[in-house]
Structure formats: C-alpha cells, structure tokens
Amino acid sequence: MTLTRALLAALALVTSLAAARAEVTVTDIIGRQVTLPQPAKHIVLGEGRHLAVLGLIHDDPVALVAGWRLDKALDEPTMQAYREKFPAIDEIRPVGSGNRDISAEAIIALHPDLVVLTLIDRNDPGTEVARQQIEAAGIPVAYVDFFSHPQENSIPSLRVLGKLTGAEERAEEFATFYESRLTRIRDRLAAPDIRRPRVFFHVHAAPVNCCSTVGTGVFNDFITTAGGQNIGNDSVKGVLGNVSLEYLIGADPDIYIATGGTHMAARGGLVLGSGVDARTAQASFDRLISAPGFSSLRAVEDGRVAGVWHLFNDSPVHIALIEYLAKTFHPDLFEDVDPAATLAEINARFSPVTVPGTWWVAPKK
C-alpha cells in the first residue's frame, strides 16, 4: 500500500509539473496578463487580415483559426492565395462584419481557447461589452497592435501571439530578422549631419479632391524612421487630415510619396498592391503625377516621387516599406539595401503563401 501510494504521489507530481510546463502566461500589448492552460489551438481573430501575421510564425495558420471578424478582412488576392493552399479557410466562421461590430454569442458558440483583439478595440464601447461577455464565459482575450503604433508594438505583439500559440521560436526568428534591418536604418541615419528631406505623404492618392495626408501615427513614424520630415505634421493635428492642392504646391516638398491600392481604381487614383501587375501600377502612377498641379511639383520634376501600397500598415512586413522609403529619401546612404529582396526573404523564410503584386512604383527612367 505504501509503495502504491508513493507511485500515485509521484504520478500526481509528474502530472502537476507537466501541467505547469504547459501553462502559458503573457502580458499583452495593453498590460493585461493572459493565462492559458496550454498554447491555443482554436482561436478567434478580431482582425481577419491578422491571419497573414499568424502565417509569419505558423506553417498552417488556417488550422488555428475558428472564427474572424470581417471588418478588416484579407484582401481578395491574399485570400485566394491562402484558399489555394488551405481550402479549410472557407470553414472559418464570421463573428462580426462592418463598423467594428463583433458578436460575443457567435464567438462563445465556437468554444475558442483564445480571442485576439486589437488596440483599436480597447476604446470601442461595443467591443468592450463583448469582451466582458466573452471573458465571463471563461474564454481568455489578448490584445495586440500592428496598426496604431506599428514600430513600437508589432514585434511585442508578434511575441505575444508566438507564446500564446506555441510558436515562440518562430516569433523570435522573425523579430531578429526585423530588428536587424531596422537597426541598420537607424544606425546609418544617426550621424548628426544627415539632411532629412521634407516629405509629403499623399494617402489614398488620386488627382482629384487633393489631398489626404498624415499628421501623426503610422506613416508619420515610417517617414521619420526612414530619415524624412513629414510636412503634413505641421498642418494635420491628428492621424489623418485634408489639405488643398494649393497647399501642396506652396509647401514645395523635396519628396512626394503617394499611397494606393485596388480600392483607388474607381476614383482614378493610384492602383497597386496585391494582385496588381507592374504595368497597371505604372500607368496609374504616371497619370497621377502628370495631372495638373502635380506635374508642376519640384519633386515630380526632379524625379523624387514614388507610390507605395497603402496596406503595408497592418503587418510587421512593413519593414520592407521602411527600407523602400529610406532608399528613396537617401539613395546614396542605402544604395546596398534591397527592399524587394527583403520581401522575397520574408516569403521564403516565413510566409506559407506568396501573393503576387506590385508594392511600389517610381517614375520611368
């Protein structure tokens, strides 16, 4: 009997230690402690497009996702690339649609072991009510951020996802890749005599109803990190605001950068990004910079203009955009930097799918 009790006690101890080792505790991006009994295998994403972020640290991210909110869904070419490799993507259940709505009932019915929300959700009253209901049902909720403060929060958020889903090693591998490139840019721009060009960032760019630009936040941070001065910061006090074409002409920026995507086709604007061929992107860019007012800009006359895909702004893949901007602002300083090669390496080493497209465009030489 004594031996039996000893064996049972030893077995209980082993079981307890194994459970302790399986338990996962992290501090999420807003400082909340999240504990799971084991790494999550059945999750709900508050942003559908964050499936591609999970894809940076999992060979089959689709297998992990039970539900997603469709307010910020994958763009169609990316969705198609995932569908071709992972047909089960069509089994992921929607738990909310537009206007940031999210259904606690739909989430609870899926019995997930984790719900991932974003920093934007933190200040949304409807989502906050849903979060309380979800946690009351015993389902852990973690917050991440790849959008509001991408340089500050993307890698910590990736590490949070890595630990919560049992992919710490892969998350750390991508973090090292990202941080080495960011450090290279910052180190080269650290010299006190570096001249930072004045940059105008024209978001959702079209030759009519000019011009939407950025004050603070995402793209302002990218411009600054890449060695430029965002002139929109002088006139736009929030993240996004509008200025007139006359303002742009009078501001006389050293460099003009436009952002666009397939959503700009209907407005005659800059069309590029996933699923867009180089010829289409070039033609839309040429129309933009040859339009009245734009064509007279000194930056256009000097060839110091470029167009970039707007949706770099919700994924740590934005490191390639920062490289592209740094090379555009300081071509001599970053002559050896190849942002296209950075994207290719991300696809080869990290992403389970490759999405065709055109991510940036410059004037014809």
Across 209-234, average pLDDT: 91
Do 139 and 197 belong to one domain? Answer: no
Does residue 9 carry a pLDDT above 50?
no
pLDDT 10s digits, 105-133 = 999 999 999 999 999 999 889 999 999 99
Does residue 4 carry a pLDDT above 60?
no
With respect to residue 173, please indicate whether it lies within any of the assigned structural domains.
Answer: no
Does residue 237 carry a pLDDT above 50?
yes
- Banded model confidence at residue 21, pLDDT cuts 50, 70, 90: low
With respect to residue 261, please indicate whether it lies within any of the assigned structural domains.
Answer: yes
Do 157 and 197 belong to one domain? Answer: no
With respect to residue 183, please indicate whether it lies within any of the assigned structural domains.
Answer: no
Do 208 and 356 belong to one domain? Answer: yes
CA dist 321 and 312 (Å) reads 7
Dihedral class, residue 155 (left if φ above 0, else alpha if ψ from -120 to 50, else beta): alpha
Do 197 and 303 belong to one domain? Answer: yes
E runs forming strands in 187-289? 198-202, 212-214, 229-230, 240-242, 255-260, 273-274
Whole-prediction pTM: 0.90
With respect to residue 251, please indicate whether it lies within any of the assigned structural domains.
Answer: yes
Do 78 and 220 belong to one domain? Answer: no
| pLDDT for the residue numbered 241 | 87
CB 310 within 8 A of CB 273: yes
- Banded model confidence at residue 7, pLDDT cuts 50, 70, 90: very low
Q: Where are the alpha helices (DSSP H) in 217-318?
A: 218-225, 245-251, 278-289, 298-301
| Average predicted confidence (pLDDT) for the chain | 92
Which of 166, 200, 221 delimits the end of a domain?
166
Q: Give the residue from 39, 343, 312, 20 showing the smallest Cα distance to 151.
A: 312
pLDDT 10s digits, 62-119 = 999 999 998 888 999 999 999 999 999 999 999 987 667 899 999 999 999 999 999 9
With respect to residue 187, please indicate whether it lies within any of the assigned structural domains.
Answer: no
Do 155 and 197 belong to one domain? Answer: no
Do 239 and 340 belong to one domain? Answer: yes
| Domain span holding position 31 | 18-166
Do 245 and 156 belong to one domain? Answer: no
Three-state secondary structure call for residue 339 = helix
| pLDDT for the residue numbered 72 | 85
Across 313-340, average pLDDT: 96
Which residues contact residue 249 at a Cβ distance below 8 angstroms, ignoring those fewer than 6 apart? 293, 296, 297
Do 251 and 296 belong to one domain? Answer: yes
| pLDDT for the residue numbered 98 | 64
pLDDT 10s digits, 242-280 = 999 999 999 999 999 999 999 999 999 999 999 999 999
Do 209 and 352 belong to one domain? Answer: yes
Does residue 6 carry a pLDDT above 70?
no
Region of poorest pLDDT, from 42-46, 48-52, 313-317: 313-317
Into how many domains does the chain fold?
2
- Banded model confidence at residue 335, pLDDT cuts 50, 70, 90: very high
Do 143 and 272 belong to one domain? Answer: no
For residue 357, give the CATH number of its domain: 3.40.50.1980
| pLDDT for the residue numbered 235 | 85
Across 210-214, average pLDDT: 91
Do 330 and 250 belong to one domain? Answer: yes
